[in-house]
Structure formats: C-alpha cells, structure tokens
C-alpha cells in the first residue's frame, strides 16, 4: 500500500496522463479487494481530471491505432462510463467521480424516449440505475420508469419477447438476441419503483421464452433467434457476433449467465437458477476454456489457442458468478473460486489498460465485423468494477450484494 502511494505521488509529480497499476492480486480477500478498488478509484479520479466531458464523445473503446472511439448517447454502450464512475464513487466517496458521473449520466436522459432500441437497459440502468442506487431521487426514478415504459413497447405478446434489433429486416422478422436478457433488469427495477406489474410480467415472459428457445442441449446459446410474429414460432437460429451460427459466442454465454441469475433474483423462479447454474458449468467445463478464466472471444473460434481473448466476457461472467454464489450457497465456493481466478487475471499487468479513461485491455466487440478487436472497451470496465464490488460485499457478508 505504502509503495503504491509513493508510485502514485511520483506519477502526479511527473504529470503522467497514463496511470499504471502493476501490482497483481495474489489472493482475493477483503484487504486485497479494498486495495484494488482504492487504486481504481484513484486512477479514475486522476483520469476524470483531464478527460473532457462532451456529449458527442462518450467513451466506448480504443481504435486499433490507440485513439478514442467515442459515441453519443444513441450508442448501446453510452451508459457504462457513467456507471463505472458511480460505482467507484460509492466505494471511495471521491467527489470528483460523483461530479463527473452526474454530468455523463445527464447525457443519457433523452434516450428514455427511444423506441428503436432494446438497449435502454444497458443505457439507462447502467447510468441512471447506478445514480439511483447511489443517490436516490424522484428524477432518477422517473427516468427509469419512463425508460421501462418505452422499452415495453417492443414487447410482442405472440412471440412472448422484446424485439432486439430493427436492422436486417430482409433476413429477420423479429430478432431476439441473448444480450437482451440484460435489459430485463431495467424492467424488474421499474416494476419495484412504480408498482406496475406489467414491467415485471414482460420481463418474466421474455426470460421464459429465452429459456425455451435460445439454448442448445449443452447450454451453449444461440446469439439471435428470429421469430415469426404470426405464429410465435422460430424462423432462424443465427449468430451476428459469433464465429458461426452453431458456435458459442463468449459474451453471449456471459450475458446468459448474468441475465438468468438476475432473473432468478427478481422472480425466484427455480428454472432461472437452474439455467444460470448450467451456463456456469458450461464455462467451467468447456475444453476450450483457458485456466486463467478469460475465454477466447468465441468458445469455437477457429484458431484456438491463438484466438483473441475477451476480457469483457470474463468480467460479465465473474460478476454474474459472484451473484450466483449468493443464490446457490451449496455451490458458493465453486462460483467464487472461478470469479476469483478471473478477477486475479484481469487485475494482472497483462490486462490493465494504460490509456485513459479505460481500466482493462483485451476485449473483443465484434470479431466477424473486424470491429473493436483486442482493445479496451468500456463495458468490460463496468462489469469488472461491479464484480470487485460484489465480491467485496460477499466477503463482508453484506446482502443483497
Ligand atoms: N450487446 C452487444 C454486445 O454484447 O456486443
């Protein structure tokens, strides 16, 4: 700890804009988690000082040449940076993080009206939801409820699911992607906040439909299920970001693991818990899963072991596993051991990013499109910090996490 202060002081003295963390975590325990979160908070605070707050330059990823890939609030990733700042503020109380989080969060508000996307959960739950968790206010609550109302308009009762994408209409009639499980958290939260059970029922049914149709016998997930809106039947089972239609895209597996764990928390339906347990075992037992816990970008990527790893999939899965350990105490150690392996690897110098405002390197956004391959991506950071915070809460017996 002392060495770290000296290093940080030297970095400040030299006016470094790059902040390095080189000390790996050898063991996950309360002390090491607090130390890492303290380092990350300090690093985020040093980065917000110089990073311009601009609604047209919301951080998303790094380009291959190391420059910033930025977005507006329309992008599905736009809420994650604000969410990471809120999380680190909740941990350490650094006022500069709160001030920056408030400003980045405000850019998201107009998205509550956007009926053309299913990603209102990612955008608004990860920004306004984190804001509400940190500093509850009527305004934050109203934004979340309006966003849930807007998202609910994409629900189709015959299909029993929320429509994901509007593009590729010549191929897909009603595409639903596994990622969409994550947007249900906004609906479950809005049901609690408003008392309106419509949000709850839509989220519940979407999870049931996904449970029925998205998974193969080995609990690997299809990325895209395309439904017929007249019969509710399946037209196509496709991929968009995976290696092939029949492959297991790693972030999709992670979204499923996290999503069904969260759906169990909200509904207590044992089918969702069983699904999360089975997807966790897919991660643990897959022959292509590296021992350091960071999956290749697709479990069936063609050039394993030379394929790129995806830190974002690992971070999402780790956060989901920490929550799963709370709901399934009989298998607590299995889940926590895996999450700890991931957190240790992500906290090693190999995975720590050096370029503001990012925390982690080595994520893969969309390999088939050649987009965001082996670069820092903002959602990896969000779920990494969330996983560390959840893990600390478990260590301190603080529930709910
Ligand atoms: N929701 C898009 C992705 O996971 O890349």
Instruction: Supply the residue whose CA is at minimum distance from atom 2 of ligand 1.
Output: 179
In a domain, 401, yes or no: no
Task: Please check the confidence at residue 276 and state whether its pLDDT lies above 50.
Answer: yes
C-alpha 138 to ligand 1 mean position (Å)? 30
Task: Please check the confidence at residue 55 and state whether its pLDDT lies above 90.
Answer: yes
pLDDT of residue 373: 98
Assess whether the C-beta atom of 240 lies below 6 angstroms from ligand 1. Answer: no
In a domain, 233, yes or no: yes
Beta strand 175-177 pairing with 224-227: antiparallel
pLDDT of residue 24: 78
Task: Please check the confidence at residue 206 and state whether its pLDDT lies above 70.
Answer: yes
- For a pocket test of ligand 1, which of 316, 365, 378, 382 has the largest count of ligand atoms closer than 8 A to its C-beta? 365
128: DSSP letter: I
Average pLDDT, the chain: 95
pLDDT of residue 6: 42
pLDDT, one tens digit per residue, over 298-353 is: 999 999 999 999 999 999 999 999 999 999 999 999 999 999 999 999 999 999 99
179 is annotated as an active-site residue:
yes
Assess whether the C-beta atom of 251 lies below 6 angstroms from ligand 1. Answer: yes
In a domain, 112, yes or no: yes
Assess whether the C-beta atom of 241 lies below 6 angstroms from ligand 1. Answer: yes
Query: Which atom of ligand 1 sits closest to the CA of residue 76?
Result: 1
pLDDT of residue 21: 59
Task: Please check the confidence at residue 193 and state whether its pLDDT lies above 80.
Answer: yes
Confidence of residue 165 (pLDDT cuts 50, 70, 90): very high
pLDDT of residue 244: 98
C-alpha 32 to ligand 1 mean position (Å)? 31
- The whole-model pTM stands at 0.95
In a domain, 212, yes or no: yes
Assess whether the C-beta atom of 363 lies below 6 angstroms from ligand 1. Answer: no
Task: Please check the confidence at residue 10 and state whether its pLDDT lies above 90.
Answer: no
pLDDT of residue 50: 86
C-alpha 94 to ligand 1 mean position (Å)? 30
196 is annotated as an active-site residue:
no
In a domain, 363, yes or no: yes
Confidence of residue 37 (pLDDT cuts 50, 70, 90): very high
What would the mean pLDDT of 191-214 be, rounded to a whole number?
98
Instruction: Supply the residue whose CA is at minimum distance from atom 1 of ligand 1.
Output: 179
- For a pocket test of ligand 1, which of 123, 183, 251 has the largest count of ligand atoms closer than 8 A to its C-beta? 251
For 26, 318, 358, the CA distances from 269, given in Å and listed in that order, are: 37, 22, 37
Q: For residues 300 and 108, give the distance between their C-alpha atoms in angstroms, rounded to a whole number.
A: 36
pLDDT, one tens digit per residue, over 15-35 is: 344 555 557 788 999 999 999
pLDDT of residue 19: 53
Give the CATH number of the domain where residue 327 resides. 1.50.10.10
pLDDT, one tens digit per residue, over 219-256 is: 999 999 999 999 999 999 999 999 999 999 999 999 99
Each as own residue / partner, the long-range contacts of residues 106-114 (CB below 8 Å, 24 or more positions apart, any chain) are: 107/55, 107/58, 107/72, 107/73, 107/78, 107/82, 108/73, 108/78, 108/79, 108/82, 109/143, 110/73, 111/73, 111/74, 111/78, 111/147, 112/143, 112/146, 112/147, 112/150, 113/146, 113/150, 114/74, 114/150
In a domain, 400, yes or no: no
Q: Which domain holds residue 191?
A: 2-395
pLDDT of residue 163: 98
The number of domains in the chain is 1
């Amino acid at each position: 700890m002392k060495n770290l202060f000296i290093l940080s002081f030297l970095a400040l003295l030299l006016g470094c804009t790059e902040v390095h963390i080189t000390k790996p975590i050898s063991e996950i325990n309360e002390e090491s988690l607090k130390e890492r979160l303290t380092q990350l908070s300090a690093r985020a605070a040093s980065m917000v000082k110089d990073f311009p707050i601009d609604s047209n330059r919301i951080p998303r990823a790094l380009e291959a040449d190391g420059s910033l890939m930025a977005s507006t609030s329309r992008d599905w990733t736009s809420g994650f940076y604000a969410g990471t700042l809120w999380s680190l503020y909740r941990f350490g109380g650094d006022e500069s993080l709160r001030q920056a989080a408030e400003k980045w969060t405000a850019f998201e508000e107009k998205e509550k009206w956007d009926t053309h996307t299913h990603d209102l959960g990612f955008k608004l739950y990860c920004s306004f939801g984190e804001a509400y968790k940190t500093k509850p206010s009527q305004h934050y609550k109203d934004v979340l409820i309006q966003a849930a109302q807007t998202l609910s308009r994409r629900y189709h009762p015959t299909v029993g699911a929320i429509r994901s994408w509007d593009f590729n209409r010549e191929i897909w009639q009603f595409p639903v992607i596994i990622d969409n499980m994550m947007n249900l958290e906004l609906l479950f939260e809005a049901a609690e906040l408003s008392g309106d059970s419509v949000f709850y029922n839509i989220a519940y049914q979407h999870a049931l439909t996904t449970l029925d149709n998205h998974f193969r016998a080995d609990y690997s997930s299809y990325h895209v299920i395309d439904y017929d809106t007249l019969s509710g039947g399946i037209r196509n089972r496709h991929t968009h970001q995976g290696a092939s239609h029949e492959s297991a895209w790693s972030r999709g597996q992670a979204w499923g693991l996290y999503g069904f764990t969260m759906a169990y928390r909200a509904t207590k339906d044992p089918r969702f818990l069983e699904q999360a347990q089975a997807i966790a075992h897919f991660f643990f037992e897959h022959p292509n899963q590296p021992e350091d816990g960071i999956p290749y970008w697709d479990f069936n990527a063609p050039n394993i072991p030379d394929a790129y790893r995806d830190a974002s999939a690992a971070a999402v899965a780790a956060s989901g596993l920490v929550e799963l350990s709370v709901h399934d105490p009989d298998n607590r150690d299995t889940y926590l051991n895996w999450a700890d392996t991931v957190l240790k690897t992500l906290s090693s110098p190999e995975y720590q990013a050096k370029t503001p405002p990012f925390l982690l390197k080595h994520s893969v956004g969309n390999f088939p499109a050649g987009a965001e391959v082996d670069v820092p991506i903002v959602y990896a950071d969000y779920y990494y910090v969330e996983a560390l915070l959840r893990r600390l809460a478990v260590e301190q017996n603080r529930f709910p996490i």
